[in-house]
């Protein structure tokens, strides 16, 4: 079952359960899908890879908002953002651990023969192609800098 089909079923279940936070997060996903489908040149279908990208973007927005609310001492709003982020995580592929990311990046650096910060662009290009959706881009960038330094 595709993510779009699963989303429709989950929205119905959340409505029946009267789970407002879950329903809000699911509707945000549906809205992002609709916006993607209305773009010029869109095929009308969201494949799972595009769905993961859109949901990942929504998740990052929720986590950024959560951090802002924590910094401003607004736990009521922070709790809502983190609850929605947890719902979004259900639709994302499992993230790689920091150590696994480090090992993968070390392999990429070795394969490319990268030796210093001048090769960071080559390494990042290859790494994002291999690890996209499996690890956070900021973590990848930070780890590449450490390994090339």
pLDDT of the residue at 75: 92
Within this chain, do residues 80 and 113 fall inside the same structural domain, yes or no? Answer: no
Q: What is the pLDDT along the chain (149 residues), one digit of tens a residue?
A: 788 888 999 999 999 999 998 999 999 999 999 998 888 877 778 888 888 888 989 999 999 999 999 999 999 999 999 999 999 988 888 888 888 888 888 888 888 887 778 888 888 888 888 887 778 778 888 888 888 87
Within this chain, do residues 72 and 106 fall inside the same structural domain, yes or no? Answer: no
Within this chain, do residues 82 and 12 fall inside the same structural domain, yes or no? Answer: yes
Domain membership of residue 17 as a residue range: 3-89
Query: CA–CA distance from 81 to each of 10, 45, 99 (Å)?
Result: 19, 28, 28
As to burial, measured by CB atoms within 10 angstroms (0-12 exposed, 13-18 middle, 19+ buried), residue 24 is middle
Tell which of 65, 89, 113 closes a domain: 89
Within this chain, do residues 70 and 111 fall inside the same structural domain, yes or no? Answer: no
pTM flag (> 0.85): no
CA 80, 81, 84, 85 torsion-angle sign: negative
Domain of residue 75, CATH code: 1.10.1510.10
Q: Name the domain count of the chain.
A: 2
pLDDT (tens digit per residue) in 102-135: 888 888 888 888 777 888 888 888 888 888 777 8
Within this chain, do residues 83 and 115 fall inside the same structural domain, yes or no? Answer: no
């Amino acid at each position: 079952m595709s993510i779009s089909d699963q989303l429709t079923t989950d929205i119905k279940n959340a409505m029946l359960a009267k789970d407002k936070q879950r329903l809000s997060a699911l509707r945000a996903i549906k809205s992002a899908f609709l916006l993607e489908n209305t773009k010029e040149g869109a095929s009308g279908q969201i494949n799972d890879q595009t769905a993961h990208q859109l949901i990942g973007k929504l998740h990052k927005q929720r986590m950024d908002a959560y951090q802002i609310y924590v910094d401003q001492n607004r736990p009521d709003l922070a709790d809502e953002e983190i609850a929605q982020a947890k719902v979004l995580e259900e639709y994302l592929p499992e993230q790689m651990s920091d150590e696994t990311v480090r090992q993968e990046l070390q392999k990429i650096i070795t394969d490319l023969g990268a030796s210093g910060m001048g090769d960071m662009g080559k390494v990042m290009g290859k790494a994002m192609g291999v690890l996209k959706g499996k690890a956070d881009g900021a973590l990848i960038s930070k780890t590449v800098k450490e390994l090339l330094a």
